[in-house]
Structure 1
Amino acid sequence: MSMRLLVFAPTRRAPTETFVRANLQGLPFEIIAYFGDEQPLSDPGRLAYGLAILVSKALTRLGLLRLATLPGSLVAWCLIRRHQPDVLMTEFGFHAVRVMEAAAWSDTPLIVHFRGSDASAQNRLGLLKDRYRRLMVIVSGIIVKSQPMRRTLLALGAPNDHLIVSPSGADERLFHGADPGRSSPLLVAVGRFVAKKGPLQTIRAFAAMRQTLPEPVALSTKLVMLGDGPLLAEARQLVETLALGSAVILPGLADRQRVAELLRQARCFVQHSQVAPDGDREGSPVAVMEAQLSGLPVVATRHEGIPEVVEDGVSGFLVDEGDLQGMAAAMARLIVEPDLAARLGAAGQRRAAANFTARHHLEQIAALLRKVIQESR
């Protein structure tokens, strides 16, 4: 008889729904998932859960943090009684505190999946620090994306022997086949246009790089940045201000197939991740792992989990946050030295295939789930 996993997530929006609906379905568990932003009238359980999360959010905004835990926890407790799961999982720490007491009341092991901003942004970490300390008493296991995130949660009392660092990984069925040694001088960035992804810094570094290249090479070098977000309009304005013209292409959102196709055509992947003004940070960016698994070298920053994925000088180049000249120089090397791009890309592909695939991520999660279930019996 298969074990049953009950998942509580804040939203159906990607990446949460993709992770729950697609990735977790690969686990040897029966999966039942509830999302906080759905209130279907046809399903009383889902309706109650969605409404409880709305109430919890309202109480949090009023500063009533202890009280905010009760609505979600009460409904989650009822759902636990209904489904009788072997183990619970919540997506994001800020959502876990909304339902955590249900795990304590029902004596059901709870795994919490932290993803990034929930363990770094000051508007969340500062506000929820006391609630997180309570969560660490209840939780049976924790999944984080990077060593810095691990250290943050250990300082809040996370159980060291049940805390795993497991980047989400890339889909090896989709991301493969790049040939940077033979590709055109195309640089690719993929990610939301938000401060922690540093899209404006990437554009400025690209502009600086073009100034160092011979004119024919500079004119043929392109930067494509896939994604959407609040900084997209500012990024488009910056492209105009820097007179980059058609050298920088900002087409907006793209599906995973389009991302994979573009990576296969590229010379390298670029991303200037940084600490956002509100303290928000990356975990280990999936797009970086997708690029490495595809066979591309990566030019990025020494930010959070990125150095755990990209080996400086081996599978790409890393610079300090804010070092636009260093980033420009690294990109220029890969443009003028395609053999170097090929060598770094091949090294990154081998490392990603061994350590950073979605399959590897699921195997780590499955092992942790089995461990906490066994210990709860």
Structure 2
Amino acid sequence: MRAAIATGEYHLGGETFINRHIEHLFGGNTVVVCGRFHGDNPYGKSYFVRRDGLSGKDILIAPWWLLRNRIRHGTSRLPFGEAKVALTKFVRDEGVEVILAEFGTQALALAPLANDLGIPIFTYFRGTDASKAIRTERMRAAYRKMMPRLAGVFSVSQFLLNNLKRHNITHPNSHVIPSGVDVRRFAPQDKVPLSFMAVGRFVEKKAPLITLRAFADATQGFPAAKLDFIGDGPLLEATRALAEEIGVTGKVRFHGAQPHDTVRDRLMSTQFFLQHSVTARDGNTEGLPTAIQEAMACGCITISTRHAGIPEAIDEGDTGFLVDEHDDVGFTAAVSTAIAVDDPAAMSQRARKVAEDRFDNHTLLKVLERRIQDTLADRD
């Protein structure tokens, strides 16, 4: 089966889950439809860039089409004019049999075209597209109009499906399939005692200041404790400044953004993983963070929050510890509790076992393929 993977940008190193679909879905029989392309095509795929700029003719007709699509479909994202003709030609020439839109917002743009061409289209909700994106009634209404056009819906967590359902955005063929992790590449090594890691953008949703302060407070009596921050973002300098202010620069290392292999190599020997995820003021949430799945596969004891799909991954007190969002005191206490675990090796092994059972992306890829194939078989 030949699939078109629709995504916002191709190729982004941090979107390992999407890149895996591009490389491996249906044995790699895929093409890419993207909003932006940065010149990196490591899988040698045929690709189509939807936002390469409007032709002169399309610029002239844009006001009419944007208004028409907004009224009819609830969104102006749809291709029109010569851009639509070019995309239609690409899809037909490539023999596309099914479309997987990797975000709900991508499905908005492509579902009507897929219906016109008689090509079944599925979408995958991953986080922002089922949280921040639906804060406005306009977007919620667009999603409601879109749902009947889809052959099925996937989500990385039940939390996101529930979030959509609260706004009457539902589909009868919906399934939770986490992004998963390559448990063969992410595997435990000997743990460095009192080693901590936090991975991700330095943004409000990750609450790096809470993470840093909790680590500092909980490890006051442990001079050997070390925290590695990997990532960059707008709150990086503020977090560095806080480390200076509270006197822990000797225990905290800021590595900036790093290649995925570097993250893996450090996670494998890390004992504790910290991620204080919160709902940002703009409504943005996680789905089910890939970093937590990777940390569990590496046998890290995870301290995180009861946020989005994270409780669907971590069994409290068994594979890690959870606190409420913005609970600074509770997060510090959870770090202290993790340090004092009687048998950290056993907890590490349980975390690894959960990752093998729930988050093996080889298994989850087969589940995704089977769900798509079963849906299409039922339509015949």
Please give the TM-score of this superposition, normalised by the length of structure 1: 0.87
Distance apart, 1:346 and its partner CA:
1.0
Give the match's secondary structure for 1:27: helix
**Where in structure 2 are the equivalents of 1:290-301 lying within 5 Å?**
290-301=294-305
Residues 213-248 of structure 1: CA deviation (Å, up to 9, x unaligned): x3xx2x211111111122212211221222222211
Residues 296 and 342, structure 1, Cα contact 8 Å, conserved in 2: no
Compute the displacement of 1:353 (Å): 0.3
Which residue number in structure 1 is paired with residue 101 of structure 2? Answer: 90
**Corresponding position of 2:347:** 344
Deviations 1:246-280 (A, max 9, x none): 21111111222211221222221111001011010
- Counterpart residue type for residue 23 of structure 2: Q
Amino acid at match of 1:32: V
Q: Which whole-Å deviations, capped at 9, do the CAs of 1:277-299 have from their partners, x for residues lacking one?
A: 10100010111111111111111
Distance in 2 between the 1:105 and 1:173 partners?
Answer: 42
Alpha-carbon separation, structure 1, partners of 2:217 and 2:318 = 24
Q: 1:239 aligns with which of 218, 243, 257?
A: 243
Instruction: Output the amino acid matched with 1:353.
Output: E
What is the CA deviation profile of residues 95-133 of structure 1, one whole-angstrom value per residue up to 9, with x for unaligned ones?
A: 221122111211211011111001101576654212111
Q: Give the number of aligned pairs.
A: 362
Distance in 2, matches of 1:186 and 1:128, equals 43
Alignment of 1:192-341 (within 5 A): 192-211=201-220, 214=221, 217=222, 219-337=223-341, 339-341=342-344
CA contact (8 A) 1:295 1:348 kept: yes
- Give the RMSD, CA atoms, in angstroms: 2.9
Shift of 1:82: 2.4
Please state if 1:367 is matched with 2:370: yes
Equivalent residues in 2 for 1:62-81 (5 A)? Answer: 66-71=75-80, 75-81=86-92
Q: Percent identity?
A: 30
Return the offset for 1:172: 1.2
Does the alignment pair 1:159 with 2:157? no
CA contact (8 A) 2:319 2:348 kept: yes
Residue 75 of structure 1 deviates from its aligned partner by 4.5
Letter in 1 for 2:168: L
Residues 68, 262 of structure 1: alpha-carbon distance in 2 compared, 3 angstrom cutoff: closer
Q: Structure 1: how far apart are the matches of 2:190 and 2:312?
A: 23
Deviations 1:31-52 (A, max 9, x none): 1112211398xx9983566336
How far residue 140 of structure 1 moved from its aligned partner, in angstroms, is 0.6
Corresponding residue of 1:38: 37
Alpha-carbon distance between aligned partners in 2 of 1:194 and 1:308, rounded to the nearest angstrom: 23
For residue 258 of structure 1, give the secondary structure of its aligned residue in structure 2: helix
Measured in 2, the distance between the counterparts of 1:209 and 1:39 equals: 43
SS of equivalent to 1:269: strand
The one of 8, 12, 16 aligned to 1:14: 12
Between the aligned partners of 1:168 and 1:39, the Cα distance in structure 2 is: 23
**For residue 150 of structure 2, what is the aligned residue in structure 1?**
139
Give the 3-state SS of the residue equivalent to 1:252 in structure 2: coil
Provide, for residues 350-376 of structure 1, a one-character-per-residue CA deviation record: whole Å limited to 9, x for no partner.
111011121122122111221232133
Distance in 1 between the 2:231 and 2:14 partners? 17
User: 1:107 is matched with which residue?
Assistant: 118
SS at match of 1:274: coil
Residues 16, 271 of structure 1: alpha-carbon distance in 2 compared, 3 angstrom cutoff: closer
Alpha-carbon shift at residue 76 of structure 1 (Å)? 3.7
By how many angstroms is 1:186 displaced?
A: 1.0
- Three-state SS of the structure 2 residue aligned to 1:172 is coil
Q: Distance in 2 between matches of 1:81 and 1:222?
A: 55
Unmatched 5+ stretches in structure 1:
none
Conserved? CA contact 2:32–2:48, under 8 Å: no
Contact 1:118-1:125 within 8 A present in 2 as well: no
Partner of 1:243, secondary structure, is coil
Letter in 1 for 2:373: R
Instruction: Describe the shift of the 1:261–1:129 C-alpha distance in structure 2 as closer, same or farther (beyond 3 A).
Output: same
